[in-house]
A and B are shown apart, each in its own frame.
Chain A
Amino acid sequence: MIPIGRLLIGGLALFVGAASAQEAMHTQAATMPSPGTFVLREMLHYTEFGTNASAGIASTEQYRWTSALQYGVARDWSLLVDVPVMFRDDELLGGGGDSDAGVGDIDVLAKWRFYREDSGDINTKRAALIFGARVASGDDDDFSSQSVNPTIGGVYTVVRGRHGFNQDLFYRLNTGGDPDHNFGGESLDDAILHNSSWVYRLFPARYTSETEGAWYSTVELSGIYEFNGDYEARGSAGFMYEGRRWAIEAMVQLPVVDELDERAELDVAVGFGLRFTF
Chain B
Amino acid sequence: MRSLFVIFPLSTVILAAAFAGCAGESAQQQPADSEHAVTQDDLRLVESTQPVRSDSVVLWVNGLGCPQCASNIDLQLARLPGVKGVRVDLGGGKVDVGLSGDSRPSPHDFAEAVTDAGFTLVKIEGAR
* Chain A residues within 8 Å of B, Cβ to Cβ: 20-22, 31-37, 75-76, 113, 116, 118-124, 158-165, 167, 169, 192, 194, 196, 198, 200, 205-214, 221, 223, 225, 229, 231, 233, 242-245, 247, 256-257, 259, 277
Question: Is the pair B91, A207 in contact by a Cβ cutoff of 8 Å?
Answer: yes
Tell whether A34 pairs with B67 under 8 Å between CB atoms, given A120-B62, A122-B33, A167-B15. no
Q: Which residues of B contact A (CB under 8 A)?
A: 1, 3-4, 7-8, 11-12, 15-16, 18-19, 22-23, 26-27, 29-30, 32-36, 60-73, 75-76, 79, 88-93, 115-120
Q: Of the candidates A33, A120, A214, which one forms a contact with B66 in the assembled complex, judged by CB atoms under 8 Å apart?
A: A214
Q: B72: which of A33, A113, A169, A210 is its contact (CB, 8 Å)? A: A33
Nearest neighbor of B76 in chain A, beta-carbon distance = A34
Give A39's nearest chain B residue, CB to CB: B68
The residue in chain B whose Cβ has the minimal distance to the Cβ of A235 is B11
Q: Is the CB of A225 within 8 A of B75?
A: no
Q: Are B15 and A209 in contact (CB under 8 A)?
A: no
Select B4's contact among A116, A192, A211, A213, beta carbons within 8 Å.
Answer: A192
Given contacts A120-B62, A122-B65, contact A160 B3 (CB under 8 A): no
Give complex CA distance A205, B26 in Å. 10
What residues on B are CB-neighbors of A242 within 8 Å? 66-68
- Given A120-B34, A121-B64: A209 and B89 interface contact (C-beta under 8 Å): yes
Q: Which residue of A lies closest to B89 (CB)?
A: A209
Number of interchain pairs (Cβ within 8 Å): 172
Q: Could you list 11 A-B pairs, sorted by A, with CB under 8 Å?
A: A31-B118, A37-B71, A122-B33, A124-B65, A162-B22, A162-B33, A165-B19, A194-B11, A207-B32, A214-B67, A242-B66
A259 to B2 alpha-carbon distance, docked (Å):
10
Q: How far is the CB of B14 from chain A (nearest CB, A)?
A: 9
- CB-based nearest A residue for B122: A118
Whether A120 contacts B15 in the complex (CB less than 8 A), given A35-B116, A169-B8, comes out as no
Give A223 Cβ to nearest chain B Cβ, in Å.
5
Q: For the complex, what is the distance from the CA of A196 to the CA of B116, rounded to whole Å?
A: 27
Are A162 and B30 neighbours in the complex by a CB distance under 8 Å? yes
Minimum distance in angstroms from A257 CB to a CB of chain B: 6
Decide if B65 touches A159 in the complex (CB within 8 Å). yes
Instruction: State whether A32 touches B118 (Cβ < 8 A).
Output: yes
Q: Which residues of the other chain, B, contact A244 by a CB distance below 8 angstroms? A: 67-68, 70-71, 88
Contact: B27 with A161, CB < 8 Å? yes
| A118-B62, A124-B62 known; A161 vs B68 contact (CB < 8 Å) | no
A158-B19, A210-B91, A231-B7 given. 19 additional CB < 8 A pairs? Answer: A34-B72, A35-B116, A116-B120, A120-B34, A121-B64, A121-B92, A122-B65, A124-B65, A160-B19, A162-B30, A167-B15, A198-B19, A205-B29, A208-B90, A233-B11, A242-B66, A244-B88, A257-B3, A277-B72
- Name the A residues within 8 Å of B1 (CB-CB): 225, 229, 231
Roughly how many angstroms separate A96 CA and B121 CA in the complex, as a whole number? Answer: 63
Please tell me if the beta carbons of B66 and A212 are within 8 angstroms of each other in the complex. no
